[in-house]
Amino acid sequence: MSRPIHALIDLTALEHNLSVVRRHTPRSRVMVVIKADAYGHGLLRAAEAFKSADGFAMLELDAAIRLREAGYRQPILLIEGFFSISELALFERYQFGTVIHHSEQLEMLPVYRRAGGLDVFLKLNTGMNRLGFTPEQFPAALESLKSNPAVGQITLMTHFACADEPNGGREVARQLQCFNAATAGCNLSRSLANSAAILRYPETHADWVRPGIMLYGASPFSDTTASELDLCPAMTVSSRIIAVQNLRSGDGIGYGHIFHADRPMRVGIVAGGYADGYPRHASIGTPVLVNGRRTRILGRVSMDMLHVDLSGIESADVGSPVTLWGKGMPIDEVAQSASTISYELLCSLAPRIRIET
């Protein structure tokens, strides 16, 4: 019998969250972001739930090939583009779109032979300072693409640095102004908004939106919960108690004894640890559900197990169900207690975790 820890992926929740995107952006096309194995939810599993999307944004070329060979005909955009001349043959064969964000990519383009076959998202760096051409470099890059017979549709794009911050409006406005100034007079499609901008800054929606984290039922904001945004968790990670310890006052638990009981208490040992993707740095008090009741983790998370407080949960015993995050236990709360973000938890789900739908 396998270890009891597993992840349940709710395809209906994924579909619902895509409908929330569409509700916020009725005049935009939606390019769903399914990089990193669809944020840990499974590439083809998520793609099936998002089959009504207008396009897919990805990072990994091999994953994009899998998606195309699975029969998806929508535009597939590689959001870091191509890294070598040799990859362009695959872009041509599978009709992938590419982000162009530096001059070396422009220099490789002449080897692409299919006239008008390469759709391009030209990236403008408006302040993220990660990828993209500066406003000064942008006109020459755009002209190079326009004059290249291999290039088909051109979409202009940027990425917001602070749309998810509580006071990020000023920086969003500054980046938007920079983008509008640099692209003035260009009669081309535009793509700017990530999840946070979709939800808070409708002026950024433009022709294409690129939702990521909201599709998977987590909030992009620290000051607004997913449920307040009508988002449903798509991944629920559950396990069971595999042992119970009865502590005396003063007893320590786990590696380093960073927690000592201040009274007699019952502690459950859960099959689940950092080798499963649960954050090792989760602090004492990180919330968890046992038998559907909210409690907390205790001590230091180890590779395969963690401790939970069974105080006041008299019915809990070996075999009792535990929800680490998901339905009933918001992943954003767990992430906050572990000084991280929900993105990291979702993407850290270990391959050894059994997946159910």
Instruction: Give the residue numbers marked as catalytic.
Output: 35, 255
DSSP secondary structure string, 109-177?
Answer: GGG--STT-EEEEEEB-SS--SSSB-TTTHHHHHHHHHT-TTEEEEEEE---SSTTSTT-HHHHHHHHH
- C-alpha to C-alpha distance for 280 and 330, rounded to whole angstroms: 18
Q: Which residues pair with 271 in a beta bridge?
A: 305
If phi > 0 it is left, if psi is from -120 to 50 it is alpha, else beta; for residue 311 that is beta
Q: Tell me the CA distances in angstroms from 263 to 56, 246, 252, 299, one per residue in order.
A: 54, 11, 11, 15
Question: What is the rounded distance in angstroms from the CA atom of residue 328 to the CA atom of residue 288?
Answer: 9
> Distance of alpha carbon 63 from its chain centroid, rounded?
16
